[in-house]
Amino acid sequence: MTRAQYIGPWRVDVTIRDGVVAPVTGRTLARAVAAALDAAGASSPASIGLILSDDRELAELNEAHLGGDGPTDVLSFPLLEPAAFPDHPGKAAAARVAGETDWPPAVTLPGRRPHLGDIVISVERAIEQAAAGRGGQTGDIRWSAADELRLLATHGTLHVCGWDHADPIEEAAMRSLERDLLAV
């Protein structure tokens, strides 16, 4: 089931896969995504996809797109190059790592919102991480599964907006921004 959530200039298309039960509403997660888009300085209006899934799908995507083995909690699929977003601490180093010049030009049909990308979250993994006290991306925060899902939606959105955590400076800035956004 997909439901478009309009929050300010953003359309967040929230898809919940069959059999997935999230401990938080799609609207709440869409608000977290919208706040991260605002904070990252994404051009508006725009749309973004948020897919709530399970470990099986995330494992398949992880292997197919990143060569990873097994499920992960969140994957982001940006459609715009990092240069399409404002600078932030550590961005230059991350852009060199990501091969920023390899991106195809963005195409937006007239009268349409540009689509920034998609985020896929394993609700199963988020619930498990929260229950085990391994949340917060650092693996040491004990909080609810709803809070873990809000973090993963925020984290995935920042990735779509050109943020990364391969560079220590950018990682520190990203974690700080996530904390600020989740405190709201």
User: Which residues have a Cβ under 8 Å from the Cβ of 81 and sit 6 or more positions away?
Assistant: 100, 103, 106, 162
Cα–Cα distance between 181 and 144 in angstroms, integer? 16
CA distances from 34 to 26, 60, 64 (A): 12, 27, 28
Contact in structure between 164 and 94 (CB atoms under 8 Å) = yes
- Tokens linked to 67: 């060569």
Mean pLDDT for 77-87 is: 90
Contact in structure between 181 and 32 (CB atoms under 8 Å) = yes
Query: Residue 91 above 80 pLDDT?
Result: no
Residue-wise pLDDT for 60-79, tens only, equals 999 999 888 998 999 999 99
Query: Residue 8 above 70 pLDDT?
Result: yes
Mean pLDDT for 172-178 is: 92
**Cα 100–31–23 angle (5° rounding)?**
110
Residue-wise pLDDT for 101-141, tens only, equals 454 555 555 567 899 999 999 999 999 998 887 766 665 66
Phi and psi (nearest 5°) for 49?
Answer: -105, 140
Which of 85, 94, 118, 106 lies closest to 169, judged by CA? 94
Residue-wise pLDDT for 132-170, tens only, equals 877 666 656 668 999 999 999 999 999 999 998 888 888
Query: Residue 97 above 50 pLDDT?
Result: no
Fold of 2-182: Collagenase (Catalytic Domain) (3.40.390)
User: What radius of gyration, in Å, describes the C-alpha atoms of the chain?
Assistant: 16
Q: Domain coordinates of the chain in residue numbers?
A: 2-182
